[in-house]
Structure 1
Amino acid sequence: MDPSNRPDTEDASDRHETAVPTTRPDAAEPSNRPDAVDSERLARLRRVSSLLDSAVEIPVINVRIGLDPLLGLLPGVGDATTTAASAYVVAEAAALGAPRATIARMCLNLLVDALFGSIPLVGDAFDVVWRANDRNVRLLEARLSDPSAERRDRRVVVVLGIAVFVGVLAVSAIVLATLWWLLGVAGVV
């Protein structure tokens, strides 16, 4: 068999060998401290958080507010917009390597913000006090500097998860009892 007619097995194996990544001897072990790119991302998250939750101080009452409670005054559109921006903060936290329990806790903060924040007017006042984005950025910074605190996050997630479950059950029971009562008043039951 002529060598020029042989399949390119040698060339393919050569390409495979060159495709295997090599480790650089000067590559440092990854650390828990954010590098320059992570510092820029954290700074961006702080700016987004501040814009949403605490951009402006109201001088008479010394309370800081952001776009979240202000846009929440717009029915439908405002809450959806700020929830999307808040989800960006959580997505960036995941990209920065926050533990799953921390991400779950951040999502619960957003869930509480979305549930109570969607109530007209009262929810906007709640947004001023709750400040889910500021909470989430502080939580992210704390976990990036001390990853061993993940156990506390797990406990909080379990407790809040149980509380949400019990709350949903309570609301469901109230709705069913109200429907039963209405059907009784209407003479159906």
Structure 2
Amino acid sequence: MSPLPAPMRSPADSASLEQVRHLARQLDTSIRLPGGFQVGWDAVLGLVPVVGDWAGALLSCYIIWQAVRLGASREVLLRMVGNVAVESLVGAVPFLGDVFDAAWKANTRNVRLLEEHLVAPTATRRASRAWVLGIVLLLVALLALAVTLAVLAVRALASIGSQG
């Protein structure tokens, strides 16, 4: 994570940014595993069913709250919320979710997004719009798939009921 150009920072903003950088490191990369892979306390918390995933998500929300305070755009904030949501939802799946959680590193992604926004707000906003659009399209596709599967399941049950 790179420091921002001096003109873009007030002492309070610099302190907040350093605070979220430190939190992201603790949550995502503070524990070195054999082979050089790094995980953080978010992955460790995620091993505790339900409560651990919620605790990790709440800690991640602090980074988003600081981004709001530092003036991140709506698109960047949506992208940050999306990163935490993806990590939380997939992370809730036993074992595989924990592996995903350790690899996804939503907090590190979010701090990088915040830094990029503070340096180049327009470019980051444009990239974030594309990301949000992609997520919306993915959710629409998943919803269509869920509705299709539900209709097929109801038809299958109806045909079984009419035969009996």
TM-score of Structure 1 vs Structure 2, range by shorter chain: 0.7 to 0.9
Alpha-carbon shift at residue 131 of structure 1 (Å):
0.5
Matched, 1:120 2:94: yes
Matched, 1:75 2:75: no
Letter aligned with residue 71 of structure 2: G
Matched, 1:37 2:19: no
Alpha carbons of structure 1 residues 184 and 122: separation in structure 2 relative to 1, 3 Å: farther
> Who is 1:160 aligned against?
135
TM-score when normalising by structure 2: 0.87
On the 8 A contact 1:34/1:144 being kept in 2, the answer is no
Of structures 1 and 2, the one scoring higher in RCO (CA 8 A, sep 6+) is 2
> Who is 1:98 aligned against?
72
Alpha-carbon shift at residue 32 of structure 1 (Å):
6.9
In structure 1, how many angstroms separate the alpha carbons of the residues matched to 2:97 and 2:150?
21
**CA deviation vs aligned residue, 1:160-182 (integer Å, no higher than 9, x gap):** 22112212332343344335435
Higher helix proportion = 2
Matched, 1:88 2:68: no
On the 8 A contact 1:32/1:144 being kept in 2, the answer is no
Alpha-carbon shift at residue 77 of structure 1 (Å):
0.5
Gaps of 5+ in 1: 1-30
**CA deviation vs aligned residue, 1:117-152 (integer Å, no higher than 9, x gap):** 110110000011110110000010011011121112
| CA radius of gyration, larger in | 1
Displaced runs of 4+ in structure 1, greater than 2 A? 171-185
Alpha-carbon shift at residue 184 of structure 1 (Å):
4.3
TM-score when normalising by structure 1: 0.76
On the 8 A contact 1:69/1:128 being kept in 2, the answer is yes
Percent of counterpart pairs with the same letter?
32
In structure 2, how many angstroms separate the alpha carbons of the residues matched to 1:151 and 1:78?
34
**CA deviation vs aligned residue, 1:91-128 (integer Å, no higher than 9, x gap):** 11011101111001111111111111110110000011
SS of aligned partner of 1:128: helix
Gaps of 5+ in 2: 1-5
> Who is 1:27 aligned against?
none
Aligned length: 157
CA RMSD of aligned residues (A): 1.9
In structure 1, how many angstroms separate the alpha carbons of the residues matched to 2:11 and 2:63?
18
> Who is 1:171 aligned against?
146
SS of aligned partner of 2:8: coil
